[in-house]
Amino acid sequence: MTTQTILPVDAERLSELSQGSGEPGWLKDSRLQALALAAELELPKLEKTRIDRWNVNNYGSYKASKPLAALNEAPAAIAALIKDQEEGSLIIQQNSGVVYTRLAPELAAQGVIFTDLQTAAKEHGDLVQRYLHKAVLPGEHSIAALHAALWNGGVFLYVPKNVVIDTPLQAVLLTDDAEAAFVPHILVVADTNSSVTYVDNYVSDKTEAGLHNGAVEVFVGAGATVRYATVHQLGADTTDVTYRRAVVENDGTIEWIVGEMNYGDTASDTKSVLKGNGSSSDAKVIAVGSGSQKLNYTTQAQHFGKHTPSDMITRAVMRESANSIINGITKIEKGATRADGQQTEKVLMLSPKARGDANPILLIDEDDVTAGHAASVGQVNPEQVYYLISRGITRHDAEKLIIYGFLAPVVSQIPLEGLRNQLQSLVERKLGQ
């Protein structure tokens, strides 16, 4: 039996909204088509997770946001994240709309585009239309379709050919009004031989139930490098469903760094499509689950190109009665000779009620490849605790050392110092230390 998707908005209203905000006709049509699809499609099928029982219908409705006159007017909930960012490149989305945009002038001079996606659709329509919804397809399931129908605010980052950017561009996405739809779409296009680092943070500051339905699309051109770092720290009130996809051309590189530090139910899927020969992907996911969170984290690498290495690592700590399903899917298509797909999923459980389930999957249709996986689910080893406390360290500190030690091999590999420190303190907060 199919469950009817509850549409949070009707076609007429959606059409009005699109026109009202001056969107081009192609975008209005794209939204309406996606809405029609949503009515027919089912929820995504997640391994061992009944997402149909989650709070996935709390979209709220579109509400215009008031732009910030200056950065120091930003809500207190995100103050720490935007400290000292006056001179940087930064976008802030608050609820349904972007309220602050700044692109460093030297980047603008090189032709870099960094603006909210709604503006980009008007000002760079051809470029946006060429890529929007081409990596996460609206036809995949009802959540992707509703995302394509309803997305708001968002980020568009375009890096022209041969432009190499050293300082990270940042975005902060805040939901602090439960009635306002929060459906940001991030679109990154890195042209041939360019290089860029993008870092964003998802934050909530409210108590009523809400939903974040997010999609991220990254197009990595030939020889380009994109480092995409994202930290989700949404509160228990917010259910988070996020799809991230990168499509990588010849000799391009995508590097994902994902911090899953939410307090609410979370499903995320981070996938690299290695389309070009010599393209590569590296994904690192750090997660801490607490309370009664239901979590489903997936990393995927799909190899089409020859000589394509991929590596994905997820390390998750589960405390209290958090329940996590962790999937890794390496898919090597026929013809992707010399592909090398590696993955590791590890879960450390801190309480008898915490649950972790690691599912490594290798799907290989080509002979001339290498692939490997490692998965483990376990508890803090009492022998290790004994060893540490036998040196005078208290039990509490010993367990802390072991937990951080579990995450350290991944955290220490994060190339951005600020992000590394931020993740460290978020982990501490989630572990109640």
Could you list the residues that contact other proteins (CB under 8 A)?
A: 381-384, 386-395, 397-398, 401-402, 404-409
Give me the residue label for tokens 């061992």. 48
The nearest distance, CB 397 to other proteins, in angstroms, is 6
Question: What token pair was written down for 262?
Answer: 């939410």
CA distances from 357 to 23, 324, 381 (A): 44, 6, 18
Q: For other proteins, which is the closer residue by CB, 372 or 386? A: 386
Give me the residue label for tokens 């376990």. 378
Question: What token pair was written down for 208?
Answer: 């009523």
Q: For other proteins, which is the closer residue by CB, 151 or 406? A: 406
Contact assessment for residue 238 and residue 211, using Cβ atoms and an 8 Å cutoff: yes
The nearest distance, CB 315 to other proteins, in angstroms, is 10
| Rounded-to-integer distance, Cα 352 and Cα 176, Å | 34
Q: For other proteins, which is the closer residue by CB, 183 or 427? A: 427
The nearest distance, CB 211 to other proteins, in angstroms, is 35
The kind and range of the H/E element at 31 are: helix 25-40
Please name which of 406, 400, 432, 328 lies closest in space to residue 371, comparing C-alpha atoms: 328
Give me the residue label for tokens 């909210």. 116
Q: For other proteins, which is the closer residue by CB, 105 or 409? A: 409
Q: For other proteins, which is the closer residue by CB, 45 or 391? A: 391
- Reduced to 3 states (helix: H, G, I; strand: E, B; else coil), residue 91 is strand
The nearest distance, CB 424 to other proteins, in angstroms, is 13
Please name which of 112, 109, 68 lies closest in space to residue 86, comparing C-alpha atoms: 68
The nearest distance, CB 355 to other proteins, in angstroms, is 22
Q: For other proteins, which is the closer residue by CB, 80 or 374? A: 374
Question: What token pair was written down for 317?
Answer: 């700590």
Q: For other proteins, which is the closer residue by CB, 279 or 344? A: 344
Q: For other proteins, which is the closer residue by CB, 127 or 393? A: 393
| Rounded-to-integer distance, Cα 336 and Cα 281, Å | 14
The nearest distance, CB 392 to other proteins, in angstroms, is 4
Please name which of 272, 270, 276, 269 lies closest in space to residue 252, comparing C-alpha atoms: 276
In the DSSP assignment, the letter for residue 417 is H
Q: For other proteins, which is the closer residue by CB, 146 or 426? A: 426
Amino acid at 69: A
The nearest distance, CB 380 to other proteins, in angstroms, is 11
The nearest distance, CB 401 to other proteins, in angstroms, is 5
| Rounded-to-integer distance, Cα 50 and Cα 285, Å | 22
Which residue stretches of 319-394 are H helix? 382-389
Q: For other proteins, which is the closer residue by CB, 57 or 394? A: 394
The nearest distance, CB 354 to other proteins, in angstroms, is 19
| Rounded-to-integer distance, Cα 125 and Cα 138, Å | 19
The nearest distance, CB 413 to other proteins, in angstroms, is 12
Backbone torsion region of residue 111, taken as left when φ is above 0, otherwise alpha when ψ lies between -120 and 50, otherwise beta: left
Contact assessment for residue 244 and residue 271, using Cβ atoms and an 8 Å cutoff: yes
